[in-house]
Amino acid sequence: MANHDSVGAVVENTATHFRRLDGLINNAGDMLGRVPTEDSSETHDREVVDLNSLSVVWACRAAIPWMKREGGVIINTSSIAARHGGGGGAVLYAAAKGFVSTFTKGFAKEVIKYGVRVNAVSPGVIKTRFHERHSNEEQMKAMVATVPMGRAGTPDDCVGTYLFLASDVMSGYVTGQTIEVNGGQFMI
């Protein structure tokens, strides 16, 4: 689970090693089990929120002193669940990812004065260990059935969006945005 001091230490140790910090990608996340809200415990609630929401805040806070020097890029990872409320037992996860999308917009406004751009990627149904742990075959089929492209995505399907947002040449005038990568499952 996420720990404030550990998150800060990872950022600080990395920046110290390289003597700078050009970019930060906040990609940690998990629903920590499909637990209906009525069955959730305070411990589970805090673990989900710390991992999916507060770890983003903590990492960003640790990065900004370094990025104030020369600017930089922060890319947060949200989720399609933030848009539709999540599936069964994933409501708290969805809400935590909604926090990430909203935090991305607000934080982008706060730090652009330092030359720091903040954006987010919002993956849809992506074949990762996340779904291996939390979605059975029937759930996966039901989710994929709602994707106009007719398939679940892969991590490689997301890479280009992260690279685009990391590049000042390609996205130097983009900040505060959440880009959906979901095969058309959710269109804005």
Continuous segment of H or E residues that includes residue 171: helix 168-171
Rounded to two decimals, the pTM is 0.93
Please check whether residue 24 is in contact with residue 64, taking contact to mean a CB–CB distance below 8 angstroms: no
Does residue 149 fall inside a structural domain? yes
Residue 1 is predicted with a pLDDT of 59
186 within a domain of the structure (yes/no): no
Q: Which member of 93, 114, 162, 173 is catalytic?
A: 93
Domain total of the chain = 1
DSSP reduced 3-state for 74: strand
DSSP letters, 86-139, are -STT-HHHHHHHHHHHHHHHHHHHHHGGGTEEEEEEEE-SB-SHHHHHH--HHH
In one letter, which amino acid is 154? Answer: T
pLDDT on residue 132: 75
Q: Identify whether 173 is part of a domain.
A: yes
Q: Centre a 10 Å sphere on the Cβ of residue 31 and count the other Cβ atoms it contains.
A: 26
- The whole-angstrom separation of Cα 73 and Cα 117 is 5
Does 187 map to a domain?
no
Residues in the chain: 188
Q: In a structure prediction context, what are the per-residue pLDDT tens digits for the chain, which is 188 residues long?
A: 578 999 999 999 999 999 999 999 999 888 888 899 999 999 999 999 999 999 999 999 999 999 999 999 999 999 999 998 888 888 999 999 999 999 999 999 999 999 999 999 999 988 887 777 777 888 879 888 999 999 999 999 999 999 999 999 999 999 999 999 999 998 87
Residue numbers of the domain that contains 40: 4-181
CATH of the domain at 75: 3.40.50.720
162 among known catalytic residues = no
